[in-house]
Structure 1
Amino acid sequence: MGKHDHHEHHGESLADAARDNLEKSGEKWTDTRAAIFDALAGFSRPASAYDIAELVSTARGKRVAPNSVYRILDLFVTNNLAMRVESANAYLANSHPGCAHDCIFLVCDTCGEATHIDDDPLSQQVRTVAKSEGFNSIRPVIEVRGICQKCS
């Protein structure tokens, strides 16, 4: 595996890449899904389904239920459009949709920001250990809690 280059998307480019990736998997890019992705991508820190539901409800002038948002976020995670920060029950947009990386996050206990890092050798090592213990369908999720540079 090792390190590789990939294009980080932002703004309109990110939404286009997310739509293309979702449609390639046979799913539709609906107005609701687009609104939820745009809201998620607008957060600089991990966002909860409630944060997103509130933002989309306000923007649309009609209530969007958090349960609907959860279902769409799960679809996004399954299709590599979003990543879930397990310990915070919150989500981040994947800035390179379609690139399947394991979730390795540095999570700040002060400001709540989560930085996603790609370290394929580390992920591979975790997978190898898990396989040696008899695990299958391995999806490492590694979260390192601490204080970020801005907060320390």
Structure 2
Amino acid sequence: MAIHDHHEHAGNDLTRAAQTTLEKSGEQWTSMRERVFEALAGFDKPASAYDIAEAVSKAEGRRVAANSVYRILDLFVGANLVRRVESANAYVANAHPDCLHDCIFLVCDSCGQTTHIDDDAITKTVRSAAKNTGFSPVRPVIEVRGKCADCD
């Protein structure tokens, strides 16, 4: 199995890595973007835009609209700071925003825990299969639904 090696960031180091990556893409790291990113990174499971808006609203002491959070999340996904778990319509902070590659998510149907793994051999095969049909893959999303070790 071809595992993709990278340095995973956490805590303040993750926020700094996200800021650096976003600024390298030509975008500004605003205080609201930082709050959204930190709120998302604080969740132990994928979070919806509404979950994030609620967390930021509590921290700010004022209402933050989910629409504003969605716009920021769209920017973050495009800049590789955040990954969208399609089947859950939720987001997770990318622990290695300075490394661009395809991801595989293992999603527990019981508790919602989502584990991110990298396997370049699998994602290369998926991209190749798509190309063989004349399809141009931009960003494959691979999600495996089941039960995590804690729920099994």
Q: Determine if the TM-score, normalized by the shorter chain, exceeds 0.5.
A: yes
Aligned 8 A contact 1:107 1:114 in 2: yes
Alpha-carbon offset, residue 137 of structure 1: 4.0
1:79 aligns with 79
Q: What is the aligned-residue identity percentage?
A: 66
Alignment: residue pair count: 151
Q: Is 1:117–2:121 an aligned residue pair?
A: no
Give the residue type in structure 2 aligned to 1:84. R
Alpha-carbon offset, residue 43 of structure 1: 0.6
CA distance in 2, matches of 1:18, 1:123: 24
Aligned 8 A contact 2:130 2:137 in 1: no
Q: Is 1:141–2:141 an aligned residue pair?
A: yes
CA distance in 2, matches of 1:98, 1:70: 22
| Within-5 A mapping of 1:88-127 | 88-127=88-127
CA distance in 1, matches of 2:133, 2:71: 32
Q: Secondary structure at the match of 1:111?
A: coil
TM-score computed with the length of structure 2 as normaliser: 0.96
Alpha-carbon offset, residue 138 of structure 1: 2.7
Give the residue type in structure 2 aligned to 1:135. F
Alpha-carbon offset, residue 50 of structure 1: 0.2
Alpha-carbon offset, residue 13 of structure 1: 0.2
CA distance in 1, matches of 2:108, 2:128: 28
TM-score computed with the length of structure 1 as normaliser: 0.96
Residues 21-51 of structure 1 show CA distances to partners (whole Å, capped at 9, x for unaligned) of: 0000000000000000000000110000000
Residues 80-107 of structure 1 show CA distances to partners (whole Å, capped at 9, x for unaligned) of: 1000000000000000012112131000
Alpha-carbon offset, residue 136 of structure 1: 1.4
Q: Is 1:47–2:47 an aligned residue pair?
A: yes
Alpha-carbon offset, residue 65 of structure 1: 0.5
Structure 2: gaps spanning 5 or more residues: none
Give the residue type in structure 2 aligned to 1:33. R
CA distance in 1, matches of 2:137, 2:98: 19
Aligned 8 A contact 1:46 1:85 in 2: yes
Residues 54-74 of structure 1 show CA distances to partners (whole Å, capped at 9, x for unaligned) of: 000010011111011011011
Cα RMSD of the aligned pairs, angstroms, is 0.9
Aligned 8 A contact 1:56 1:64 in 2: yes
CA distance in 2, matches of 1:5, 1:123: 14
Runs (4 or more) in structure 1 with deviation over 3 Å come to none
